[in-house]
Amino acid sequence: MFITVHGTIGLIIGTYSQNPILAFFLGLISHYCCDIIPHGDTKAPKKYNNLIYWGLAGIIDISILSITLLGLLITSRINIYNPNIPAAFLGSVLPDFLLLGYFLSNKKIFIIPFKIHYFFHNIVSKKYEWPFWAGLGFQIIIFITSIIIYIKIC
Ligand SMILES: [Zn+2]
């Protein structure tokens, strides 16, 4: 899923966590749980399936997440004195940055995180996957819903 989706879910988890260590691991677990849900990315049209488009998508994804975080910080929606929020946020986005490390380097340290990520990501999607555009719409809906939940409840 998009890092935007994982990050906003991480914010919600952090708000309800009891301590930073628990928050981090709940964020991490949430990443793999969310990735189990089919979200269309394995059905990306072939013309988009290359490093340039994936890189561009990553830049857009991280930019939207950064703007979202900035907006939440400016409007004081994030309690900066609660360490559980950044801890859960870090846990929820970490697997995708480890994946980036795997693709950008050939360091052995990234192989195990890559295999774990690949395993969870493909549990369902290797048998059933949504069309790319449906998955994209699904993720946008999850992102908007998470932001609304965070603003209204957290
Ligand atoms: Zn992931």
What are the tens digits of pLDDT across the range 99-144? 999 988 978 899 999 999 999 999 999 899 999 999 999 999 999 9
* pLDDT recorded at residue 83: 97
6 CA from centroid of ligand 1 (Å): 8
60 CA from centroid of ligand 1 (Å): 16
107 CA from centroid of ligand 1 (Å): 19
* pLDDT recorded at residue 24: 98
Question: Does 3 score more than 80 pLDDT?
Answer: yes
User: What's the CA dihedral at 89, 19, 150, 39 to 10 degrees?
Assistant: 50
SS3 at position 86: helix
Q: Is 93 exposed, middle or buried (0-12, 13-18, 19+ CB in 10 A)?
A: buried
1 CA from centroid of ligand 1 (Å): 6
Which pTM does this prediction carry?
0.92
Gap between the Cα atoms of 113 and 148, Å rounded: 31
For CA atoms 41, 102, 36, 94, the dihedral sign is negative
62 CA from centroid of ligand 1 (Å): 13
Section 10-29 average pLDDT: 97
88 CA from centroid of ligand 1 (Å): 15
Question: Does 69 score more than 90 pLDDT?
Answer: yes
Q: What DSSP letter does each residue of 107-149 carry, written as one string?
A: -GGGHHHHHHHHHHHHHHHTT----HHHHHHHHHHHHHHHHHH
107: CB partners within 8 A, 6+ apart? 101
Gap between the Cα atoms of 137 and 144, Å rounded: 11
Gap between the Cα atoms of 36 and 68, Å rounded: 24
79 CA from centroid of ligand 1 (Å): 26
63 CA from centroid of ligand 1 (Å): 17
* pLDDT recorded at residue 46: 86
Q: Hey, where are the domains in the chain? A: 3-153
